[in-house]
Structure 1
Amino acid sequence: MDMVFSFYEGVRRKGPGSEASTLKSLSLLHDLPDLPRIVEFGCGAGVASIPLARSLPCHLSAVDIHQPFLDKLNAVAAREGLADRITTVKADMTNPPFENHSFDLIWSESAIYNVGFEHGLRLWKPLLKPAGYIAVTEAVWLTTEPPHNAKEFWDAEYPLMTTVDENLKRMCTSGFDLVDHFVLPAVDWQNYYGPLQDHVNDFWSNRLADATAQLFADSLQREIDIWKDFGDSFGYCFFIGKASEMSRP
């Protein structure tokens, strides 16, 4: 894991996305309080944290398990004059160190897969205040009959991956009313895989004698190649929900 974290320290964006998609999702939330309390799980170095804090007055708790990511986020927040809006928290998203009913909004981009979509929704929901929002991105199939090579790859990497419609059902059964959803555009994948490809090339060539590093680089290259060949069969989807009135105790 040290090698994996070290690798991703050199990549600004840790998963598919864009500032445009972050702000589009934020624009779909119409009744946040004047100074919302937000928690972002898997914040990385803050590619979503900064646009969120720049766009609205808020108290944002940015959570990640890797301190160097948080250090970078703190530096950017200070440089942009946003340090008073962002508090970094080194913690595991599977064991969030917050009291129930603490937040108006839960945010997570390219990270809920670490706990599984439905499990993450159920795990984090108690942290929301009544009628609080959740906005997360999740890897999804865009077809019910994916190509064999793509299905084989993702069944090994993320067997919980399913369709948009199935995840919408899971949001409802997890205690959320659906607000909206949208599939991320292809440019959001290029934002991730373009720089990642360059980093994989450098990583691979600089560690020719390290068998573990070579296997890691090969696995990332396989992922990039699957996207290049079969990217129209899968994607990332932004799911926005609101804690259901009916699900409250």
Structure 2
Amino acid sequence: MLEEETEFPLEMMFSFFEGVKRKGPGSETSTLKALSLLKELPANPQIAEFGCGSGVATIPLARSLDCSVIAVEIHQPFLDELAAIAVREGLADRIKTVQADMGIPPFPNGSFDVIWSEAAIYNVGFKRGLQLWKPLLRSGGYIVVSEVVWLTSAPPSKAKEFWEAEYPMMTMVEQNINTMSELGYDPVGHFILPLEDWQNYYDPLQEHVDEFRLMHSANAAAQNLADCLQSEIDLWKECGSSFGYCFFIGRSF
């Protein structure tokens, strides 16, 4: 018999994503493309990465630069996995993990040359994140974030209903660029993530959802979580051309 509880706790969602390498759309190729747009970095730049997950962006950044990365994540098991990978990759001296809420960053102003966040700024909102993190940047520092955006002004009703419920602050690329300018950043560049970056996320996620259903067949909360994730996957397959992730790169002066 299924358990009566149908809502899934936040900890269950975190636990689910411990089994998924990539927690959101993206790829190492796109990470490095965004990095290539940062033209005037100092020697040994200091980087903060908010919402690092288990390090799918952290590792390429640390491997590509003579840098120090503070990887910030609220869920400690993700950080434990990242720390183990960093040791295995010979990058432990470049990466420090910090368990913290990205909405309450525990760092003094002017600490970083780069702030990085892939598929995570939605947790605080695009505008709020840019406002909140700007004081942490040194003069001339960069902010690099990927954010979900509308790719059309007339999305299908199914997509509109889904995103209005999940992330009502979602807007279009030009509006986010304007917001970046209004907040005192020089928009350096932006680009839409390719189809492959979504497949990098959703193909393994689909496999994990199917396995999760079988493992927790008697748990109504787990089935509800699987239903929610399946709805997201199905929406992307049907309406994915109407929305996407976009990298935004800005510079603070």
TM-score by length of 2: 0.96
**Correspondence for 1:225 among 231, 234, 250:** 234
Q: Tell me if 1:21 matches 2:30.
A: yes
Q: Distance in 2 between matches of 1:132 and 1:33?
A: 10
Identity of aligned residues (%): 66
TM superposition shift of 1:204: 1.2
Which residues of 2 match residues 41-60 of structure 1 at below 5 A? Answer: 41-60=50-69
User: Which residue of the partner structure matches residue 4 of structure 2?
Assistant: none
Q: Following TM superposition, by how much is the alpha carbon of 1:31 offset from its aligned partner in structure 2, in angstroms?
A: 0.4
| Structure 1: stretches of 5+ with no match in the other structure | none
Q: Which is bigger in relative contact order (C-alpha 8 A, separation at least 6)?
A: 2
The alpha carbon displacement at 1:18 in A equals: 0.1
1:66 aligns with 75
Q: Which amino acid in structure 1 is aligned with residue 89 of structure 2?
A: E
Partner residue, 1:33: 42
Quote the Cα distance in structure 2 between the aligned partners of 1:229 and 1:85: 41
The separation in 1 between residues aligned to 2:116 and 2:225, in whole angstroms, is 29
**Structure 2 counterpart of 1:126, which letter?**
P
For the aligned residues, what is the CA RMSD? 0.6
Query: Deviations along 1:94-131, whole A, 9 cap, x unmatched?
Result: 00010000000000001000000000000000000011
Counterpart-to-counterpart distance in 2, 1:96 and 1:60: 15
3-state SS, counterpart of residue 47 of structure 1: coil
Find 2:183's aligned residue among 174, 179, 190: 174
> 1:211, CA displacement in angstroms?
1.0
Q: Please, what TM-score do these two structures have when normalized by structure 1?
A: 0.97
- Amino acid in structure 2 at the alignment position of 1:164: V
| 1:10 aligned counterpart, secondary structure | coil
Aligned partner of 2:242: which letter? S
CA distance in 2 between partners of 1:209 and 1:15 (Å): 28
Alignment of 1:80-119 (within 5 A): 80-119=89-128
**Which among 169, 176, 180 is matched to residue 160 of structure 1?**
169
> Which letter does structure 1 place at the counterpart of 2:162?
F
1: distance between equivalents of 2:87 and 2:70? 15
* CA deviation map 1:179-223 (0-9, x unaligned): 000000000000000000000011112212111111111000000
**Whole-angstrom CA distance in 2 between matches of 1:193 and 1:6:** 17
**Structure 1 position 93, deviation (Å):** 0.3
Q: What is the rounded CA distance, in whole Å, between the counterparts of 2:85 and 2:204 in structure 1?
A: 20
Distance 1:39 1:54 in 2: 15
Q: Secondary structure at 2:106's aligned position in 1?
A: coil
Q: Which runs of 5+ in 2 are unaligned?
A: 1-9
